Amino acid sequence: MPINDTKYWNEELETISREDLEKQQLKDLKKIVKYAYDNSPYYKRAFDQAGVKPEDIVTLKDIEKFPFMDKKTQRDTQGKGSFLGELCAVPENDVVFISTSSGSTGVPTISPFTQKDFDEFQETEARWFWQVGVRPNDRYVHALNFSLYVGGPDVIGAQKTGALCIWGGTLPSERLLWVLQNYKPTVIWTSPSYAWQLGEKALKNGIDPKKDLNIKKIIVAGELGGSINETRKAIEELWGAEVYDFYGLSDIFGACAAMCEYKDGLHIAENHILVETVDPQTGKVLPPGSKGEFVFTTLRKHARPLIRFRTGDIGWIDTSKCKCGRTHGRIHVLGRKDDMFIVSAVNVFPSDVEAGIRSIPGLTGEYRIRIYDQDFTCKYAVEVEKKAENDQSDAEVINTVANTLKARIGVKPANVVVHRDGDLNTRSEHKSKRVIDEREHKLAS
């Protein structure tokens, strides 16, 4: 922990020159590719089949010679040869912690950690907490699931900053509000949906989050909302607090990237992760700044290295130096590849719809998207909630929503349905299900 209240958790690491960062990445990449080849049955087989060997890594760009892997690879190799599977590169006795994915897109996958992996994971979390301003005089509530979820242990990173930490977990909202009222924490981490819904519930219970609670900073993750300006600003206005987005993968570790005070993308831990962006369909590597699918290679994780892991997340990376002085690249995440749909030749992400709806006064911000086929073409419809005090007619709301989405996305919804405040049933204490895909033939991923 820094002795003084310095701006950086690790100034030398966070402000390293791009040239020196890439030199270190290359050094670590050579080591991890050889380590994976020598210790993981899967990588030995996959590299041999692709006709590549660790010695082929001479520059960072040489990683492009190596085969991709993805969630299917994880599922197909899990449990084969051993409990931890063919991807694992250490004996089970060296593994001290495992998390699992949610399984929302298939069989849950295990993410193992050696003690060194775990310690470096929490050192990175401490760096993110410090980056958003968590200090020893803060009280922090970790309102994330502790049950197998990779974000659960991140509370240890918060403790490394010296903050007083409250291991809240998935408390019922009434109990969590009691904690916020009585323990007066200054920082909380939860999902964007729940941050919004908890604030709404507080108001309905006669608690003004701005005046009656002491929250100064809200960290959000698990959904895209924190990186959608309209959603982030709506939560900030509701709570009177600063909102910072974190991005993580169960496949790697809790938060792999985090916003700084400028909120211009999320700094990614490039000392741990080599980032590529590829065309989602062809796999062709795109230059930095291009929008595409993120492909990550872990540089230091030994229990289960990930070499060219296709994340399924769409976005771009900015490798220029940030105004905050940090040099690690900033990722801008647009959404999941699987969630994108095409209407009238326009690529639409649910995040585009959310941003439009959250920008409209008089709506609660809750929404649902329905995607369906009609007359051999893809259509989408949206459902929204009108605030109780909104005296506009439903027809006026429908017109506003349709025109707003047309202006923002380029294509109107085929239908807009208006519900009364609270009737949409999209509120959840964790992730919210907002997209219903009724198409018979979805786009191939």
How do residues 70-90 score in pLDDT, each as one tens digit? Answer: 989 999 999 999 999 999 999
Specify the pTM: 0.84
pLDDT score recorded for residue 435? 87
* Cβ 109 vs Cβ 251: under 8 Å: yes
Average pLDDT along the chain: 92
Q: Which of 260 and 101 is assigned the larger pLDDT?
A: 260
User: How would residue 4 be classed by pLDDT, with cut points 50, 70 and 90?
Assistant: low
Fold that domain 12-91+265-338 belongs to in CATH: Rossmann fold (3.40.50)
The H or E element containing residue 252 is none
* Cβ 293 vs Cβ 314: under 8 Å: yes
Asked whether the predicted pLDDT for residue 238 surpasses 90, the reply is yes
Asked whether the predicted pLDDT for residue 412 surpasses 50, the reply is yes
pLDDT score recorded for residue 408? 86
Asked whether the predicted pLDDT for residue 54 surpasses 60, the reply is yes
The Cα 333–Cα 351 span in angstroms is: 10
What is the percentage of the chain residues whose pLDDT exceeds 90? 73
Q: For helices 229-239 and 192-204, give the axis angle rounded to 10 degrees.
A: 30
In tens, the pLDDT along 278-295 reads 999 899 999 989 999 999
Where, residue-wise, is CATH 3.30.300.30 in the chain? 342-437
Question: Which one is the CATH code of 342-437: 3.30.300.20, 3.40.50.300, 3.40.50.11710, 3.30.300.30?
Answer: 3.30.300.30
Fold that domain 119-247 belongs to in CATH: Rossmann fold (3.40.50)
Would you state the structure tokens that stand for residue 143, as one six-digit string?
């309102």
pLDDT score recorded for residue 106? 58
If we measure between CA atoms, which residue out of 298, 346, 339, 297 comes closest to residue 315?
A: 339
Average pLDDT over residues 229-249: 94
Asked whether the predicted pLDDT for residue 445 surpasses 50, the reply is no
| Residue labelled with tokens 């242990």 | 153
The Cα 191–Cα 144 span in angstroms is: 8
* Cβ 377 vs Cβ 440: under 8 Å: no
User: How would residue 443 be classed by pLDDT, with cut points 50, 70 and 90?
Assistant: very low
Read off φ and ψ for residue 358, nearest 5 degrees. Answer: -70, -15
pLDDT score recorded for residue 434? 85
The Cα 122–Cα 158 span in angstroms is: 8
Q: How far apart are the first and last CA of the chain?
A: 43
The Cα 102–Cα 382 span in angstroms is: 26
Length in residues, the chain: 445
pLDDT score recorded for residue 231? 87
pLDDT score recorded for residue 264? 96
Would you state the structure tokens that stand for residue 193, as one six-digit string?
């949906």
Asked whether the predicted pLDDT for residue 104 surpasses 70, the reply is no
Q: How many CB atoms lie within 10 A of CB 203?
A: 13
Instruction: Please say whether the dihedral angle defined by the alpha carbons of residues 98, 163, 325 and 246, taken in this order, is positive or negative.
Output: positive
User: How would residue 344 be classed by pLDDT, with cut points 50, 70 and 90?
Assistant: confident
> Is residue 312 classed as helix, strand or coil in its secondary structure?
strand
In tens, the pLDDT along 314-327 reads 999 999 999 999 99
* Cβ 236 vs Cβ 229: under 8 Å: no
Q: Which of 419 and 338 is assigned the larger pLDDT?
A: 419
Where, residue-wise, is CATH 3.40.50.12780 in the chain? 12-91+265-338, 119-247
Q: Which of 5 and 404 is assigned the larger pLDDT?
A: 404
In tens, the pLDDT along 168-209 reads 998 999 999 999 999 999 999 998 888 988 999 999 999 999
If we measure between CA atoms, which residue out of 164, 168, 95, 154 comes closest to residue 122?
A: 154
* Cβ 398 vs Cβ 416: under 8 Å: yes
Q: Which of 437 and 163 is assigned the larger pLDDT?
A: 163
